[in-house]
Amino acid sequence: MIDETHDPGLQSWVTSANGHPDFPIQNLPFGLFSVEGGEPRGGVAIGDMIVDLAALQGTGLLTGAADGAAKAAASGPLNGFLGLGREARVALRRQLSALLTVASQARPQVEACLVSAARCALHLPARIGDYTDFYVGIHHAMNVGRQFRPDNPLLPNYKHVPIGYHGRASSVRPSGIPVRRPNGQTKPPEATEPSFGPSRRLDYELELGIWIGPGNPDGRPISIDEASAHIAGYCLLNDWSARDIQGWEYQPLGPFLAKNFATTVSAWIVTPEALAPFRSAQPARPEGDPQPLPYLHGGDDQANGALDIELEVLLLSEEMRARGLPAQRIGLSSTRHMYWTPAQLVTHHTCNGCDLGPGDLLGTGTISGPTADSCGSILEVTQGGKTPVRLGSGEERRFLEDGDEVILRARGVREGCAPIGFGECRAIVLPALSEATA
């Protein structure tokens, strides 16, 4: 999986890429951008610039499978490109890398295909056919379970079956689009009757998003050994959650209006190839935990199928913004805390004949760590609103307030490798619509 594109010594003639926290030449994520109101088209992030794939394809510099892949990604949502799978994606990555290194002879032609990212809007990279959210963060499951069921935090199925539910694709938005506080029906424990109005317990969830590649249109189950070939890339995902609506509605069928009003994703698809240096073995399960059933147990997946990526949540209130204060970190976690691997999620999702298609989106579920400073939701940070978190401005938060901006970041860092990032996943909370207009 490691090739010349991962060489930590590789430098680009796009000078902003060298040492860029997210998009050095070793990353090369794919996305959909538009320039000043133009049509969305496919691009690749490099430093502070975007390679326009349609323009690059037009130069004739790309050959073979790489040329075909660039053509598939040139215009409109990237579903067709994602469906091509690994071979075409790798071919394009290798040729892009060669064209963008300082050693490239083609700099003048490629330079003409670059657009400053500052001039561009980023869109959802693919048309999302379906979105599914899992629950792989075992520390999150324990922390939340403890609040709802102090004596029995983890339900007996958790360690046997990757828990998930079907989310709502229509309200998945790219980073930067504000999120409106939802109205809904709630019933606090002390109330005798439910009432309707703005959620008072609005929360974020720090998750990894998984973009599906070729998939199984015929419904044939994807085995654990094949599953990684059906993952086209990763993003950050904020599964906004209204805890008061959730608490009242979630039994017996699970999340509904508490979750489906908004999901925010980072706009770039970071490929499995870019993340190859940050792979690791799935951490051993604690003594006494069951082993996955055979259909979820793959030798290569157990040896290399986990990811080692730092995940971070920052909060920036309206007052902090007004006073020029920096966003404050309120959680630092890692994908190492996933109880199930991405491949296990794909295999489990399809084991019954359910089909996944190119551009389908999976969320991992909230990824919290074992410590108080590694929580992936404010519900956990404040223990259900009991212990407020203090911000640099002197303000306190039990849940999110209007004007708060939640910023998720992710970063692969490993000795001997060029660090890469995902780009931000951020959105500001807008006030609820008044009941008269709702």
Binding site for Ca ion (CB under 5 A): 133, 205, 239
Asked if 398 and 391 count as a contact pair (C-beta separation under 8 A), the reply is no
Judged by beta carbon, residue 136 or residue 391, the one nearer Ca ion is 136
By beta-carbon distance, which residue lies closest to Ca ion? 239
Asked if 342 and 231 count as a contact pair (C-beta separation under 8 A), the reply is yes
**Closest distance of CB 250 from Ca ion, Å:** 12
Secondary structure class of 71 (helix, strand, coil): helix
The amino acid present at 203, given as its one-letter code, is D
Helical H runs in 278-377?
Answer: 299-304, 318-322, 342-350
DSSP letter string, 236-293: EEE--EEHHHHHHH-TTT--STTTTT-EEE-S-BB-TTTTGGGEEPPPPPPTTPPPPP
Phi, psi dihedrals of residue 129, rounded to the nearest 5°: -70, -50
The question of whether 140 is a catalytic residue gets the answer: yes
Q: Which of these is catalytic: 20, 140, 230, 337?
A: 140
- Phi-psi category of residue 9: left, alpha or beta, with phi > 0 → left and psi -120 to 50 → alpha: alpha
Query: Which residue bears the tokens 């295999």?
Result: 347
Judged by beta carbon, residue 307 or residue 320, the one nearer Ca ion is 307
**Closest distance of CB 237 from Ca ion, Å:** 8
Asked if 12 and 406 count as a contact pair (C-beta separation under 8 A), the reply is no
Judged by beta carbon, residue 239 or residue 405, the one nearer Ca ion is 239
Query: Which residue bears the tokens 């709630």?
Result: 186
Query: Which residue bears the tokens 């594109």?
Result: 5
Helical H runs in 106-161?
Answer: 107-111, 138-148
- CA separation for the pair 300, 338 (Å, rounded): 17
Tell me the torsion sign for CA atoms 301, 303, 304, 306.
positive
Cβ contacts of 257 within 8 Å, gap of 6 or more: 182, 184, 185, 242, 245, 249
Judged by beta carbon, residue 205 or residue 312, the one nearer Ca ion is 205
Judged by beta carbon, residue 133 or residue 404, the one nearer Ca ion is 133
- CA separation for the pair 438, 118 (Å, rounded): 35
Q: Which residues are catalytic?
A: 140
